[in-house]
A and B are shown apart, each in its own frame.
Chain A
Amino acid sequence: SQTIHQWPATLVQPVGSPLSLECTVEGTSNPNLYWYRQAAGRGLQLLFYSVGIGQISSEVPQNLSASRPQDRQFILSSKKLLLSDSGFYLCAWDTAKGLETQYFGPGTRLLVL
Chain B
Amino acid sequence: AQKITQTQPGMFVQEKEAVTLDCTYDTSDQSYGLFWYKQPSSGEMIFLIYQGSYDEQNATEGRYSLNFQKARKSANLVISASQLGDSAMYFCATRDDKIIFGKGTRLHILP
Contacts and interface: CB of A to CB of B under 8 A. Distances in A.
Interface of A: 42-44, 46, 49, 88, 90, 92, 99-107, 109
B43 interface: yes
Contacts of B50: 101
A88 B104 contact: no
27 contacts: A42-B103, A43-B103, A44-B45, A46-B99, A90-B43, A99-B31, A99-B33, A99-B52, A99-B95, A100-B33, A101-B33, A101-B35, A101-B47, A101-B50, A102-B47, A102-B99, A104-B37, A104-B45, A104-B46, A104-B47, A105-B44, A106-B42, A106-B43, A106-B44, A107-B43, A107-B44, A109-B43
A99 B98 contact: no
Interface residues of B, number: 22
B17 interface: no
Nearest to B32: A99
Contacts, number: 44
A43 B102 contact: yes
A109 B42 CA distance: 10
A43 B104 contact: yes
B26 interface: no
A43 B45 contact: no
B91 interface: yes
A42 B43 CA distance: 12
Contacts of A100: 33
Contact of A44 (B44, B46, B91): B91
A8 B82 CA distance: 33
Given A43-B101, A44-B91, A104 B52 contact: no
Given A46-B99, A101-B50, 8 more contacts: A43-B91, A43-B103, A44-B45, A44-B101, A90-B43, A92-B45, A101-B47, A102-B47
